[in-house]
Structures are given as C-alpha cells and as structure tokens.
Amino acid sequence: MTNTVIQYVLSRLHDIGIADIFGVPGDYAFPINDAIATHPEIRWVGCCNELNSAYAADGYARIKGTGALCTTYGVGELSALNGVAGAYAEHLPIFHLVGTPNMPTQAARALMHHTLGNGEYDLFRKMAEPAACASAVMTPQTAAFETERLIYQALYHRRPVYMAFPADLANQPLTGDAPRIPLPHSNPDMLEAAADAVLAALDQAGTACVLPGILVARLGLRPALEAFIDASGLPFATMFMAKSVLDEQHPAYVGMYDGALMNEDVRRFVEESDLILNIGSPMTDFNSGAFTANIDPSRTIEIKHHFTRVKGKTFQSVEMADLLALLADRVKRRVGRRTAVASLGPVEGRGEEPISAAALYPRWANFLKPDDILIAETGTVSMGLGFAHMPKGASFHNQTLFGSIGWATPAAFGAAVAAPERRIVLVTGDGAHQFTAQEISQLHRFGLKPIIFVLNNNGYLIERLLCKDPAISYNDIAPWNYAALPHALGCEGWMTARVATCAELDQALEAAARATTGVYIEVVTDAYAASPLALKLHDAVATLYKS
C-alpha cells in the first residue's frame, strides 16, 4: 500500500507510464534513491552525471511521452538544470525529483555542504522555477494534492515540473488524499465554432496544405492527425523541429519545408497555397530556415495546444485533440496536387576516395530501416540528416530549439531504455560527443545495443561556419581516439571501427547492419565537409554573429 510521501509519488508516476527514473545518488536524496531502487515496478537507472540524467530523461520522454530524473540538492540539481531547461523548450513533461536537507537543518539555517553557505535553502528551487511549469515541496500534508497538481500541470503544459523532498519527510506517512485531476476538454460551443471556421476556410480555399508541428508528437496525437490527413486528402510538409512527426512514407507527404534555404519546390508549394494549417509548429529560427519562411498570416490557420486562430479570430478553450477529431469526422475530402519528395541525392564516392559530405549523408540515409529511432546531434550532422527521407515508422529526434550540444548521446541512452526492442541509431559530432561520451558505458551496462556514428571532423564545424575566422583556436578540440572509447568505457564485445575512405565506410555500414552487438563507428572527414543546409544556414545567419 502506497502510504508514504515518496511511495505515493512513485506510484502515481508509474500510473502515467514512467517505469524508469534516471539520476545520480546523493546523501540528501537517499530516501528517494532507496524508494526507487526497491520499487517493484520502477527501475533506478544510474547515469554518469546529473546533466546526462536530464538528457536521458528527455530522450525517454520523446519515446514514452513523459520521463523522470532524481538528483540531490544544490550541486546535483544545478548540474541537471541545463538538460531540464532543454526539455522545457522542447515541450517534454519531465518530473525532477530533488532530495533536500531535512526541515530542522533548513529551519536552523545551518551552513551545510551543497549550499552557498548563507543559510538560504530555497535559492536553488527559485533557480529552477523558470525551467519548470510548476513546483512544490512535498510534505505529508500536501504530497497527495501536490502530486496530482504537478501531474496535471506537466501534462497540460507538456513541460517539466520540480518536486522537492526534504530528507526527513520523504518516508513519512501521508496525512491526506487527493482526487485525480482529469485533463480538460474543450468548451463545446467554442469547439464547434472553431471547427466551423476551419472547415469554411478550407471550403473557400483552392489549394491548402498542413504543417504539422512538434506538439502533435508531444501530445500523442499522431493517429488523430493522420486520420484528419486521410479524411481530408490534404498534403503536408514538415519543418525541421517536427521532422517525422507523421510517417514520411505517407502518400500525402511532400517533403521538408525550411523557408528559402532548402527544397525550393516544397517552399513554393507551401507558401503559394491558398490556406496553410499550422498545427502546433513554432516559427523558431532553425524551424523557419533562419526566418526565411514567408507565410502570410492572413492565409494561415493556427491550431495550437489549447486554442485555435482562424483569420485573426481566436477561439479559446479549444483542445487540439478535440478539434482534430471533430475535423476528421466532418471534413470534405479533396484531391490536391502532390510534389515528389526530395532525397539526399545519389551516393557519391567510392574506393579509396576520402569521405565527403556528399558521400556520407546519402549513405547514412540509406542505412536507416523501418521503425528506427534516429537521434541526431545538434549541429551539422542533424542538418545533413534532416532532409533524409525516413523509412516507414522511423522517427527523427533532434534538440532543434534549445540546441545544447552533447544532448544526443545521453538522449539516445534514454530512448534506448524506453524502447529496447527498437534499433537506436545515434549520429553525433566529435565536439558534441566530448561533452557526454561517458554515457555510452551505460548503454552497455543495461544490455542495450545502439548503432553509434561519431563524425570526426576535428572540431566544432557548425561554429567554424558561423564565426568570422573558421580556423580560430576556440573551434579546435582535443584529438581523441574515438574508436577506442567503447573498450575503455567497458563496452566489451561491441563492434568498433574507424573509417576514412568510402570503401571503409561501406564495409563498416554492411557490418553494422548485420551486427548483434552495440556498434560504434568513427567516421573521419575533412574539417569543412558540411551538408548543403549547414552551408546555406551559414550564408543566412552569419551576419547575426558578426559585428
């Protein structure tokens, strides 16, 4: 029977789909650590540091819908804060469980370790508040109510929440109960009015298309949106942040829309449509092709999480899920023109030729299989793979908005924990990998078998492309023997390789496709071997970084 503060919280987290909690132990958090480690249905998943645990929870939530991490007070939670902030930016409901000093210590303003030595015990919670949609201190009197409130807030906003557990209260019995809080439904009248307005606009439009956004994935609404696409016959394009939010093998898919930077046919198709349905896609810099997207607001319908805007009129209290269901039921089917989906082009290079960008990215695209989970690091590797035509059921994940380099390796660990039955393909750059490379040891420790590609281009290529002097010293990094890392980090039995020619790359890709172990391949290219999008992004935004 779940009758203590921490037992109640863990029981409710399990109810909403959390079976694994990432973290690093610490003395103030021992009551939480113990409860997780002994829980019959939740597994403690230790990480190499707290930042990595936050990234791992992010990757887990992308697959399972929600995630959790546990850190100790002060040093632990602050180390994780960058990863939690990224989850906030990317609309991921993460539960951050923090163990704090006991209440007598706090009341006495004692000068304890992991503090600033000033007797203030709420400073770190205040630091965390901007990166959380809600927070609470969990006590026996309030834990039931606060747990239900925080679950509601996390799922309503699809953002992280912060839960503080004083060490002497976590194992105390609850002294109250609280009802479950159901997520809201739409206001019926506003829902009907919004649906009527959308359908009327569609009826008046000669051509129309859909831009599905990342909120569709975060809300678990892929089936609902696909039902609307099928019922309406409308074509759809996706922006970078929402790549693969709908199956890219769907016949209505026309390709990636990235403003004026890439795919001119798709740009014209989208921007010349009489009506554009933007369904949860934010117009961020990388999402809009460095703000080169030219979408007329007067021809755009915005279907947001909790409201809809049609021709300047806003319909509040309209939930995206309810509206998509209603539209799928009522929309008239239309036959729209189609645009062939662009590919990365033919595979170039062979034999002893060095690996160029044109040789590398089409090979990686061809390597992908149906249902793969592709984790692509921020920077040039994600830009190169962002325009690969994904196989059926495969998903593409990138931290497009927050863009914290080093995210991808631990995020791939979290995704692999969430879906051990699926093939995880991680593609990261050498600079980013040096931030968080140690987390590959956890992949092997938990029996997971990812396929990891590390692009060794001898530094921060995306920074070289954006700064005044590409060869300046701050873009250089220490030379690592990347292919030796798995063995050094305990990944015994993994397939490892270092490739520098097209023939070596082809041989390694063939072996990786057959491998039954973890795979780690270091791919060596020229320092400036960049994908077309990375080069065009340089031309579009370099002025932002120059005085």
DSSP letter string over 399-465? -TTT--TT-HHHHHHHHHHH-TTSPEEEEEEHHHHHHHGGGHHHHHHTT---EEEEEE-SS-HHHHH
% of the chain with per-residue pLDDT over 70: 97
Among 80-89, 431-440, 530-539, the range scoring the smallest mean pLDDT is 530-539
Does residue 10 sit in the same domain as residue 151? yes
Which pair of structure tokens corresponds to residue 203?
A: 């009826």
CB 367, CB 374: distance < 8 Å = no
Does residue 490 sit in the same domain as residue 530? yes
Does residue 208 sit in the same domain as residue 107? no
Q: Over 90: is that where the pLDDT of 521 sits?
A: yes
The answer as to whether 279 is a domain residue is yes
Does residue 538 sit in the same domain as residue 394? yes
**CATH code, domain with 199:** 3.40.50.1220
How do strand 424-429 and strand 395-397 relate by DSSP bridges?
unpaired
Which of 400, 507, 512 is CA-nearest to residue 453? 512
pTM value is: 0.96
The answer as to whether 251 is a domain residue is yes
Residue 326 belongs to domain spanning: 188-330
Mean pLDDT throughout 401-426? 97
Mean pLDDT throughout 35-55? 97
The answer as to whether 176 is a domain residue is no
In angstroms, how far is CA 368 from the centroid of its own chain?
19
Q: In Å, what is the CA distance from 308 to each residue of 97, 124, 237, 247, 255?
A: 34, 37, 20, 24, 25
Does residue 272 sit in the same domain as residue 136? no
Phi, psi at residue 135, to the nearest 5°?
-150, 160
Categorize the per-residue pLDDT at 99 as very low, low, confident or very high, splitting at 50, 70 and 90.
Answer: very high
The answer as to whether 344 is a domain residue is no
Does residue 409 sit in the same domain as residue 540? yes
CB 263, CB 342: distance < 8 Å = yes
Categorize the per-residue pLDDT at 2 as very low, low, confident or very high, splitting at 50, 70 and 90.
Answer: low
Number of domains, the chain: 3
Q: Over 90: is that where the pLDDT of 471 sits?
A: no
Mean pLDDT throughout 234-242? 95
CB 411, CB 434: distance < 8 Å = no
pLDDT of 542 reads: 57
Which pair of structure tokens corresponds to residue 410?
A: 């631990």
pLDDT of 531 reads: 82
Beta bridge partners of 46: 23
pLDDT of 318 reads: 98
pLDDT of 341 reads: 80
Which pair of structure tokens corresponds to residue 231?
A: 């019922």
Does residue 152 sit in the same domain as residue 12? yes
- Residues 150-193: pLDDT tens digits? 999 999 999 999 999 999 999 999 998 999 999 999 999 999 99
How far is residue 77's CA from residue 70's CA, in Å, rounded to a whole number?
A: 8
Does residue 207 sit in the same domain as residue 113? no
**CATH code, domain with 82:** 3.40.50.970
More confident residue, 210 or 380: 210
Categorize the per-residue pLDDT at 441 as very low, low, confident or very high, splitting at 50, 70 and 90.
Answer: very high
Which residues are known to be catalytic? 27, 50, 113-114, 403, 430, 457, 459, 463
pLDDT of 368 reads: 97
The answer as to whether 175 is a domain residue is no
How do strand 373-376 and strand 395-397 relate by DSSP bridges?
parallel
Does residue 161 sit in the same domain as residue 196? no
306 CB-near residues (< 8 Å, 6+ apart): 316, 317, 318, 319, 320
| Residue 370, number of CB atoms within 10 A of its CB | 12
484, 487, 491, 494: CA torsion to nearest 10: 70
Does residue 510 sit in the same domain as residue 365? yes
The answer as to whether 520 is a domain residue is yes
The answer as to whether 62 is a domain residue is yes
pLDDT of 544 reads: 53
Which of 84, 182, 174 is CA-nearest to residue 135? 84
How far is residue 5's CA from residue 99's CA, in Å, rounded to a whole number?
A: 12
- Residues 455-470: pLDDT tens digits? 999 888 878 877 878 8
Categorize the per-residue pLDDT at 534 as very low, low, confident or very high, splitting at 50, 70 and 90.
Answer: confident
> HSE (CB half, 13 Å, CA atoms) of 152?
13
| Residue 382, number of CB atoms within 10 A of its CB | 30
- Residues 289-347: pLDDT tens digits? 888 899 999 999 999 999 999 988 999 999 999 999 999 999 999 876 666 787 788 89
The answer as to whether 128 is a domain residue is yes
How far is residue 133's CA from residue 321's CA, in Å, rounded to a whole number?
A: 21
Does residue 37 sit in the same domain as residue 154? yes
Which of 110, 134, 166 lies at the terminal end of a domain, its last residue? 166
Which of 113, 136, 166 lies at the terminal end of a domain, its last residue? 166
Does residue 309 sit in the same domain as residue 396? no
Mean pLDDT throughout 392-420? 96
CB 437, CB 385: distance < 8 Å = no
- Phi/psi class of residue 84: alpha, beta or left (left: φ > 0; alpha: ψ in -120 to 50)? alpha
Which of 280, 311, 330 lies at the terminal end of a domain, its last residue? 330
Mean residue pLDDT across the chain: 94
